[in-house]
Structures are given as structure tokens and as C-alpha cells.
């Protein structure tokens, strides 16, 4: 999250996006590190940058702008999000079979069952973020990866550390990341010694014409799946429920027809979007995008949430509307676009849809237990309610 691009009330988009889109679509923004980089806010520019072959994720060259001070996830050459073709193409090709929509659908019955089980075990008042969103997503990622649920508290601790953008926590942030990587290496080693048919086993076995993932690639993939599979999806569930409860007419529609959960999930994704905007791009050659020219070597931050609120693409983008997306694939960029589009998007969708469906079915009287303005938010890469007290 930029130090300058501050969300609006209740986590709504930064009010400055409107001015930037209209008159300054590539103006620099101040990052938490203190660096200034051009910020792309128009849908056409963001999509062009994410899809451009000269838009590199290699930010490890000396002197480049940083999102946060000190070492961060951008410094890991084994991480899938930091690789460019042809290495990135190879990496994705090997793993593709483990992340198809068909694979995600295998997990839908378990997600639905777990969501209902969690709600059955909660009282009338609970913290939707801690007691439902986090519990659902952390338990599911443990099941999918074949990891004992006894480790889930460690996952939460590690992820909270390295997703922080606070300049006061450089050492703890990197310590958390390093410990997390070491722990994921242990998980991979355990699955090698005792193979099964969980996702880690599928990744170990994955190959393309004899080519396999290196040990570093395997470990980083497991780490990324845990972080994205629990933290970002839990934040989407809590933000989605907050958005629905502050639009009670739309919550009532979902309660009356839980089949609307899939369409509601797409609007939640558009409106609040996962935090992929934190991933800057470096231009490896001069490139012309709709709003202007970027010189070779320029580092730019494509802002996905801003793009998903562009009135050129989404009518009345500030309006939350669960009927916005009907038949056909949605055109929002919540999961990114191009080569780095989120590999686990299908599983995240399944979890978000089933969470909303279970809440509408099991807790139709759900309402906020505090005034919306009293909700406190995180300030890291994942912007979400710290707690979401609800009554039902």
C-alpha cells in the first residue's frame, strides 16, 4: 500500500483516484519506503502494463525503488511473482495442472461443509474476521496442502509479519519471511519422505516433458499458497460481508436467493480486490501505454483497485451492486491479468462464494454489532478489518 494512496472511509477506494484518473493518470506516488514511482490508475493502463512483455517483475537491480525499506519479498529470485519469461513461463506450465478450475471444484463440497460447521459452532455474536473468515481459509489451505491444522497459528504469525509495510518492522518482517520459508522447506521435505495426494504432493510430482520445479521453486510456491490462500481470501470474505451489511437491501436479496453468491462474490472482488497492486513493474524497454510513454528502466505501480473503479469500464463504479456481473466472464482485474494472473484464483473464488452462501443461509439475520465507523483496519499490504463484530 502506498504511503500516499490512503483508502477512503470503510475501506472504500482512495478518493484521490478520481483526480488522478481524470488529469494525472501516471503521476508519482510516495511509497512506504520513501521512493516515488508513477502510479497507473486507469483500467486501460493497468491492463496494458500487466500484459506487456516488457513489464518485468525483476526489481533486484541495485538502486531501484522499493515498496518498503530493507529486504522484502521482492528480493527472492525463487518466488514465482518475481520471475519473468522464459523462467516464469516454465514455472507456470509445470504447475498448471494443479490449479485448474476442475481441481478447485473438487474442494467445493469441503469448503461448503466447513463453512457451515464453523457457523454451527458460533454463538449469536462473533468476530467474523477471526472466528469465521480466518478459520475457514486457514483450515482449507491446510487441507488442500496436506498440512496438519496444528500449524495454523504459525502461518498466521509468519504472514502477519512479512505482509507488514511498517518501516519500523524491517527486521521482524524479514525474520518472519525467512522463518516461514524454512518452515515450508520442512513441509516439502516431509511430503517427499511420506508422499500422498495433497497439493504439495502434486507440486512435487508436477512436470512438463521431464522438467520439474527446483527445491527453491517448490518451497516458495508452498509459501505463496499459504499466504494468498488464507490471508488475502480471509480479507475478501470480511470486506465482502462488511460491504453487504452496509447495503442491507442487497444482503436481503442474497438471503432470499443464496444462488446470487457467485455474482455477489465477483462484485466484492471488483470493489475491494486482492492486494496485487503492491507488485511494481520495471520496464525493460520504452513502452507506449494509453496514457503516455514509459522509458526503459522506469518502475511503475499498476493499481488494480483503481483500475476496477474506472468509470470508462464500470458504470457508476463507486456503487456496490451484486447484479453488476451476469452471464459471461467478469472483466475486473482483481486476480491480475496476463502472465502473473493469480494461479490459485479458482480456489479463492470457491472459498469466497461458499462463505457468502453459508452466511446467507445459516445466519440470515446477520448485522454489524458496532457502528461501521468504529471498525479498525490493518495498514499492511492486505487492507482489511482487524475485527468485524457481528450479531446474528
Q: Could you give the CA distance from residue 89 to residue 108 in angstroms, rounded to a whole number?
A: 28
Structure confidence by residue, pLDDT tens digits, 100-115: 889 899 999 999 999 9
The secondary structure of residue 274, as a DSSP letter, is -
Ranking 103-112, 145-154, 248-257 by mean pLDDT, the lowest is: 145-154
pLDDT at 205: 84
Q: What is the mean pLDDT of the chain?
A: 88
For the chain, the domains span 9-391
Whether the predicted pLDDT of 372 surpasses 70: yes
pLDDT at 53: 94
Residue 166 pLDDT grade (very low, low, confident, very high; cuts 50, 70, 90): very low
pTM of the model: 0.90
Structure confidence by residue, pLDDT tens digits, 324-342: 997 778 999 999 999 888 8
Ranking 97-106, 118-127, 284-293 by mean pLDDT, the lowest is: 97-106
Ranking 90-94, 311-315, 374-378 by mean pLDDT, the lowest is: 90-94
The secondary structure of residue 87, as a DSSP letter, is H
Sign of CA dihedral 323, 347, 129, 111: positive
Cis peptide before 288 (omega within 30 of 0): no
Ranking 205-214, 248-257, 299-308 by mean pLDDT, the lowest is: 205-214
Please choose, from the candidates 144, 128, 90, 204, the residue with its C-alpha nearest in 3D space to the C-alpha of residue 344. 144
- Per CATH, domain 9-391 is 1.10.630.10: yes
What are φ and ψ of residue 322, in 5° steps?
-70, -5
Cell numbers found for residue 128: 467474523
Which residues, 6+ apart, have CB-to-CB distance to 323 below 8 Å? Answer: 263
Q: Which residues of 42-68 are buried (b: 16+ CB within 10 A; e: fewer)?
A: bbbbbbbbbebeebbbebeeeeebbbb
Q: Could you give the CA distance from residue 246 to residue 271 in angstroms, rounded to a whole number?
A: 14
Within 13 Å and on the Cβ side, how many CA atoms surround 1? 22
SS3 string, 306-320, reads HHCCCCCCCCCCCCC
CA 150 centroid distance within chain: 24
Please choose, from the candidates 357, 374, 368, 373, the residue with its C-alpha nearest in 3D space to the C-alpha of residue 390. 368
* Cβ atoms of 148 and 142 closer than 8 Å: yes
Sign of CA dihedral 123, 124, 130, 131: positive
**Residue located via cell numbers 470493489:** 271
Residue 279 pLDDT grade (very low, low, confident, very high; cuts 50, 70, 90): confident
Structure confidence by residue, pLDDT tens digits, 11-69: 999 999 999 999 999 999 998 888 999 999 999 999 999 999 999 999 999 889 988 77
pLDDT at 290: 98
Structure confidence by residue, pLDDT tens digits, 238-252: 999 999 999 999 999
Amino acid at each position: 500500500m502506498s504511503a500516499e494512496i490512503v483508502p477512503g472511509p470503510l475501506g472504500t477506494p482512495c478518493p484521490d483516484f478520481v483526480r488522478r484518473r481524470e488529469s494525472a493518470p501516471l503521476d508519482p506516488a510516495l511509497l512506504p519506503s520513501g521512493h516515488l514511482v508513477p502510479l497507473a490508475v486507469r483500467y486501460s493502463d493497468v491492463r496494458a502494463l500487466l500484459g506487456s512483455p516488457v513489464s518485468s517483475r525483476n526489481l533486484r537491480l541495485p538502486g531501484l525503488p522499493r515498496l518498503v525499506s530493507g529486504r522484502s519479498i521482492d528480493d527472492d529470485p525463487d518466488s514465482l511473482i518475481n520471475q519473468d519469461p522464459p523462467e516464469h513461463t516454465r514455472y507456470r506450465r509445470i504447475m498448471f495442472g494443479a490449479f485448474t478450475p476442475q481441481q478447485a471444484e473438487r474442494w467445493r463440497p469441503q469448503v461448503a461443509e466447513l463453512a457451515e460447521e464453523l457457523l454451527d459452532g458460533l454463538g449469536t455474536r462473533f468476530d467474523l474476521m477471526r472466528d469465521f473468515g480466518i478459520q475457514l481459509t486457514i483450515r482449507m489451505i491446510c487441507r488442500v496442502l496436506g498440512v496438519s491444522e496444528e500449524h495454523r497459528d504459525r502461518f498466521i504469525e509468519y504472514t502477519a509479519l512479512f505482509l507488514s509495510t511498517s518501516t519500523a518492522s524491517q527486521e521482524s518482517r524479514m525474520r518472519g519471511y525467512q522463518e516461514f520459508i524454512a518452515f515450508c522447506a520442512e513441509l516439502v521435505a516431509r511430503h517427499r519422505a511420506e508422499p500422498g495426494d495433497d497439493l504439495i504432493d502434486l507440486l512435487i510430482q508436477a512436470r512438463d516433458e521431464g522438467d520439474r520445479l527446483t527445491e527453491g521453486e517448490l518451497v516458495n510456491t508452498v509459501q505463496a499458497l499459504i499466504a494468498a490462500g488464507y490471508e488475502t481470501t480471509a480479507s475478501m470474505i470480511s470486506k465482502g460481508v462488511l460491504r453487504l451489511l452496509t447495503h442491507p437491501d442487497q444482503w436481503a436479496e442474497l438471503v432470499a436467493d443464496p444462488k446470487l453468491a457467485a455474482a455477489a462474490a465477483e462484485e466484492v472482488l471488483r470493489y475491494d480486490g486482492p492486494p496485487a497492486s503492491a507488485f511494481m513493474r520495471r520496464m525493460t524497454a520504452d513502452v507506449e501505454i494509453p496514457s503516455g510513454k514509459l522509458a526503459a528502466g522506469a518502475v511503475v505501480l499498476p493499481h488494480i483497485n483503481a483500475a476496477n473503479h474506472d468509470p470508462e469500464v464500470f458504470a457508476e463504479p463507486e456503487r456496490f451492486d451484486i447484479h453488476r456481473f451476469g452471464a459471461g466472464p467478469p472483466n475486473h482485474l482483481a486476480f491480475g491479468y496476463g502472465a502473473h494472473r493469480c494461479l490459485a484464483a479458482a480456489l479463492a473464488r470457491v472459498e469466497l462464494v461458499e462463505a457468502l452462501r453459508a452466511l446467507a443461509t445459516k445466519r440470515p439475520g446477520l448485522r454489524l454489532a458496532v457502528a461501521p465507523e468504529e471498525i479498525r483496519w490493518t495498514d499492511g499490504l492486505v487492507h482489511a478489518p482487524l475485527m468485524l463484530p457481528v450479531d446474528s
